[in-house]
Chains A and B, each alone.
Chain A
Amino acid sequence: GAVVSQHPSWVICKSGTSVKIECRSLDFQATTMFWYRQFPKQSLMLMATSNEGSKATYEQGVEKDKFLINHASLTLSTLTVTSAHPEDSSFYICSAKGRGAGGYFDEQFFGPGTRLTVL
């Protein structure tokens, strides 16, 4: 299967600072990337969908000015949490869907997640 990486795997920051999380597709072209958030003991909630070269589409209730998503290339999407606050502490997971050498994948592939703790 295809591989998606995330960096960093965990980050601790002070309240008010910004944090950037990278999501990379290592061996395929990710035409669409998704960002999910997971609070402890809860399910994954979709935050936004981004297509390469286009603006991200945010789910209702997700502040686009706070969670900046950039999908500038077919292998990289970034999520920047601006002016982070303790309530933004969560597990952020990206996934990617796209095409490999054999054509388009039917499924999306998940990164390992990034644990964000805001003090």
Chain B
Amino acid sequence: AQSVTQPDIHITVSEGASLELRCNYSYGATPYLFWYVQSPGQGLQLLLKYFSGDTLVQGIKGFEAEFKRSQSSFNLRKPSVHWSDAAEYFCAVGGNQAGTALIFGKGTTLSVSS
């Protein structure tokens, strides 16, 4: 079955500390992987994506993610968190076919403490 697991429902980090959000996936074909961020009442903003090539991808706002095929993981990282990073983060997987929808994880809520 195709699925995305985000093991951490809620994470709190101190401002300036590093962050890692975990994502594991199960997908039958070559996966396209995404991380989105959503602020309360807002739509989704794409942070970064992985299609192929270099397994370490850089995104916006200082985020990066590493694709590890052997572990079926695509963890999101940021070296120094800012208070404005507090939001809901979703990992998603999809295929490259035109009609393929994304499968989302349940999300991780990030809180940033001062």
Q: Which residue of A lies closest to B6 (CB)?
A: A43
Across the interface, do A107 and B44 meet the contact criterion of CB distance under 8 Å? no
Q: How far is the CA of A108 from the CA of B41 in the complex (A)?
A: 20
| Residues in A neighbouring B25, C-beta threshold 8 A | none
Interface size on B, residues (CB 8 A): 22
Any chain A CB within 8 A of the CB of B96?
Answer: yes
Across the interface, do B99 and A111 meet the contact criterion of CB distance under 8 Å? no
Across the interface, do A93 and B43 meet the contact criterion of CB distance under 8 Å? yes
Across the interface, do B106 and A107 meet the contact criterion of CB distance under 8 Å? no
**A33-58 interface mask toward B, CB cutoff 8 Å, 1 = contact, 0 = none?**
01000000011111001010000000
| Residues in A neighbouring B107, C-beta threshold 8 A | 42-43
Q: How far is the CA of A93 from the CA of B94 in the complex (A)?
A: 17
Contact of A107 among B34, B42, B103, B105 (CB under 8 A): B34
**B70-99 interface mask toward A, CB cutoff 8 Å, 1 = contact, 0 = none?**
000000000000000000001000101011
Give the secondary structure class of B's interface: loop
Across the interface, do A113 and B42 meet the contact criterion of CB distance under 8 Å? yes
Interface size on A, residues (CB 8 A): 24
Across the interface, do B44 and A31 meet the contact criterion of CB distance under 8 Å? no
| Residues in A neighbouring B99, C-beta threshold 8 A | 32, 49, 51
Q: How far is the CA of A110 from the CA of B103 in the complex (A)?
A: 14
Any chain B CB within 8 A of the CB of A106?
Answer: yes
Across the interface, do B44 and A106 meet the contact criterion of CB distance under 8 Å? no
Any chain B CB within 8 A of the CB of A112?
Answer: yes
Across the interface, do B43 and A44 meet the contact criterion of CB distance under 8 Å? no
Q: How far is the CA of A98 from the CA of B46 in the complex (A)?
A: 17
Q: A43-B106, A106-B51, A113-B43 are in contact. Are A34 and B101 (CB under 8 A)?
A: yes
Query: Which 3 A-B pairs have CB atoms at the shortest separation, nearest pair first?
Result: A112-B43, A113-B43, A110-B44
B interface vs A, CB < 8 Å? 32, 34, 36, 41-44, 46, 49, 51, 90, 94, 96, 98-99, 101-107
A interface vs B, CB < 8 Å? 1, 31-32, 34, 42-46, 49, 51, 93, 95, 97-98, 104, 106-108, 110-113, 115
13 A-B pairs with CB atoms under 8 Å apart are A1-B46, A42-B107, A43-B90, A43-B104, A44-B44, A46-B101, A46-B102, A46-B103, A93-B43, A97-B98, A104-B98, A107-B34, A113-B42
